[in-house]
Structure 1
Amino acid sequence: MQYLETSTDVWSFVLSAPDNNSYIAMGFSPSGGMVGSSAVVGWVSADGTPTIRQYALRGQKPSQVVVNQGSLQITGNSSMILSQSSRLYLVFQLNTNQPLTRLIYSVGPVGVFPTGTDYELTRHRDQVTAELNYVTGQASSRTPYKQLRRSHGILNILGWGILMIIGAILARYFKQWDPIWFYSHTLVQSLGFVLGVAGVISGLVLENKLGADVSTHKGLGIFILVLAI
């Protein structure tokens, strides 16, 4: 992405991405999240027709992403999108003293374009968020739901990968210390199971928030949970 303050309170942006027969989008967010932001979305359809629209991102469902709405003051006749050398170039200008620093970049599913009078967007297949310093030009990328991702991993590692194994070792090799081994085994296994279930639940929540296709990973997790039960 490139940008330039071309004149007083007029900012020009150029977003480029590989042309994978999909839409590309750039959003400006007051909070860093998708909900509440406004985005410029562009695509070149199969017949070569270029289209650019502004969307208000009022929720995570396609019906809550409203076309021709949003808070961006786009300069008239300044927007264009073109495909050249297997790349898409989305160009637009904003009338603002200072654009929002929290940005969202996304790419739509391959071969699926907004259609109809409402130009409904399908869920993106990839997304990156960043915070941009317009003075220095430096941007720091952000991972969506980073804390939830971390919790999902830590809970599952502790539950299924460590505590459940320790509980099995106690039952296998420490029976000479009766009944301490039994109570220790029960306590450790129960704690491991609780943490593991919490890890599975956090994974399901994360899947719903990201809208990602993790069928294999999800299936393995549920299979392990069933074995534990």
Structure 2
Amino acid sequence: MATSLLASLFFTFWALLISPAISLTCSSQKFTKNQVYSNCLDLPSLASYLHFTYDPSNTTLSVAFISTPSKPGGWISWAINPNATGMAGSQALVVYKNSTTGVAVVHTFDISSYSSIVPKDLSFEVPDKTAETRSDGSLAIFATIKVPANLAAKGTINQVWQVGPGVGEGGMLEKHDFAAANLHSKGTLDLKNGQSSTNSGGDTTVKKKNIHGILNAVSWGILFPLGAMIARYIRSFESADPAWFYLHVFCQISAYAIGVAGWGTGLKLGSESSGITYSGHRYIGIALFVLATVQIFALFLRPKKDHKLRFYWDIYHHSFGYAILVLGIINVFKGFNILKPEHKWKSAYMIVIIAMGGISLLLEAITWIVVLKRKSRKSTKPYDGYNNAQSNQQPLAM
């Protein structure tokens, strides 16, 4: 019964539907200086908007980019990447408020790599650039750009946009989030037709992160705790022997196999993003892999119940098992904070964990009742009320 209930909770984790997002349209936006542009686009992520006019006669692009920083005091950015589709290598216009005056100011950044983001003049001419703070808390970038000849000949440019939480000393930009919306904030802008296209299939890095998160949530976050619950509680029922053992082994080996796959995708993601490091999440992941690998050997090193080493094996097996259980759940929540999926997914996982905890408390009570009753039936008494006086005087056998 408990196993089927846990299984149903597991499947509800995947049963949520994705709700449609609703956003404002750029056509309703007005500017304080009443600027007018030929085209406007509702960009597909980060609630951002682009207004632009392109003059092919002199290859000049006039843009107005509107977005809201991820936190008050943060920054927004719109960039052109002359040679690639991502942020690395892009030439960025960044707006944030001056910490002293509170006035929004445009700055230019050369993002040669994720680890090198420095204030610098752009590789193309920007004869005019201004910024403004809007009444709804958003910021706007206004710029006139001289499109390089090779891009003008193509008629398209690679655009990237982003929002961040704050600005440090010396104008150093604080890192933006790496949620799906942030990683999808790029596309191709068709200057002649006034259209923007993005990779509808999603960024491959985002897919890898989602796969990494799902594999690890299922393995370390659900299957390992489920296997531990089976070993602790189901085994107390005599009718469940030896089925509980095979269920326990199946859960733990499956969890280990899935966890290793998730660990491998994590290593791959780390190698592909050398400038992005999540030390705590990474070190716990390595510890989990090592502990789980050692734990798997417990299956092959398991002595018989009456063996003199069984006591020490139990200590090793149980201590490693509980360490994996605790670290696994902690790291799943760290992963949620990094990936930042829709809130419903974190809520669903919390419901599953709370439900498993509640079931564990219930089964703990039932297990103690079963064990105490079993001991009571097996206990012997020196005097049961029917022995004669002579037998009552005899000493207990040792």
TM-score by length of 1: 0.69
Matched with 2:208 is 148
1:66 to 115, 118, 129: 118
Worse-superposed segment, 201-210 or 21-30:
201-210
- Give the distance between the partners of 2:117 and 2:125, measured in 1 at CA: 18
Alignment of 1:196-215 (within 5 A): 196-199=259-262, 202=265
Matched with 1:26 is 78
> What is the CA distance between 1:87 and its match in structure 2?
2.8
1:190 to 242, 253, 261: 253
> What is the CA distance between 1:192 and its match in structure 2?
1.5
- Give the distance between the partners of 2:326 and 2:177, measured in 1 at CA: 33
2:97 to 41, 44, 61: 44
Matched with 2:186 is 130
Question: Is residue 88 from structure 1 mapped to residue 88 from structure 2 by the alignment?
Answer: no
The residue type equivalent to 1:5 in the other structure is Y
- Give the distance between the partners of 1:23 and 1:228, measured in 2 at CA: 37
CA deviation digits over 1:185-228, x for unaligned, max 9?
54652341242254357568869959699x89x98xx7986327
Question: Is residue 109 from structure 1 mapped to residue 154 from structure 2 by the alignment?
Answer: no
> What is the CA distance between 1:26 and its match in structure 2?
1.1
The SS at the match of 1:100 is: strand
1:16 to 44, 47, 66: 66
Matched with 2:53 is 4
The SS at the match of 1:153 is: helix
Pairwise CA RMSD = 4.3
- Whether the 8 Å contact between 2:53 and 2:62 is mirrored in structure 1 is yes
Matched with 1:159 is 219
The residue type equivalent to 1:193 in the other structure is Y
> What is the CA distance between 1:157 and its match in structure 2?
4.5
Bigger proportion of residues as helix = 2
The SS at the match of 1:152 is: helix
Change (3 A) 1:60 1:14: same
TM-score by length of 2: 0.43
Change (3 A) 1:186 1:70: farther
- Whether the 8 Å contact between 1:56 and 1:68 is mirrored in structure 2 is yes
- Give the distance between the partners of 1:149 and 1:92, measured in 2 at CA: 35
- Whether the 8 Å contact between 2:216 and 2:262 is mirrored in structure 1 is yes
The residue type equivalent to 1:175 in the other structure is P
Change (3 A) 1:99 1:79: farther
What's the % identity of the aligned pairs?
18
1:57 to 87, 111, 115: 111
The higher relative CO (CA closer than 8 Å, separation ≥ 6) is in: 1
Worse-superposed segment, 202-211 or 84-93:
202-211
- Whether the 8 Å contact between 1:5 and 1:11 is mirrored in structure 2 is yes
> What is the CA distance between 1:165 and its match in structure 2?
4.0
- Whether the 8 Å contact between 2:188 and 2:196 is mirrored in structure 1 is yes
Runs of at least 5 residues in structure 2 that lack an aligned partner in the other structure: 1-49, 289-320, 328-398
Worse-superposed segment, 25-34 or 83-92:
25-34
- Give the distance between the partners of 2:88 and 2:323, measured in 1 at CA: 33
> What is the CA distance between 1:105 and its match in structure 2?
1.6
- Whether the 8 Å contact between 1:125 and 1:212 is mirrored in structure 2 is no
The residue type equivalent to 1:100 in the other structure is I
- Give the distance between the partners of 1:34 and 1:2, measured in 2 at CA: 20
> What is the CA distance between 1:60 and its match in structure 2?
2.0
- Whether the 8 Å contact between 1:32 and 1:129 is mirrored in structure 2 is no
CA deviation digits over 1:145-197, x for unaligned, max 9?
212222213312442435874797698546269xxx65x85465234124225
Question: How many matched pairs?
Answer: 215
Bigger proportion of residues as strand = 1
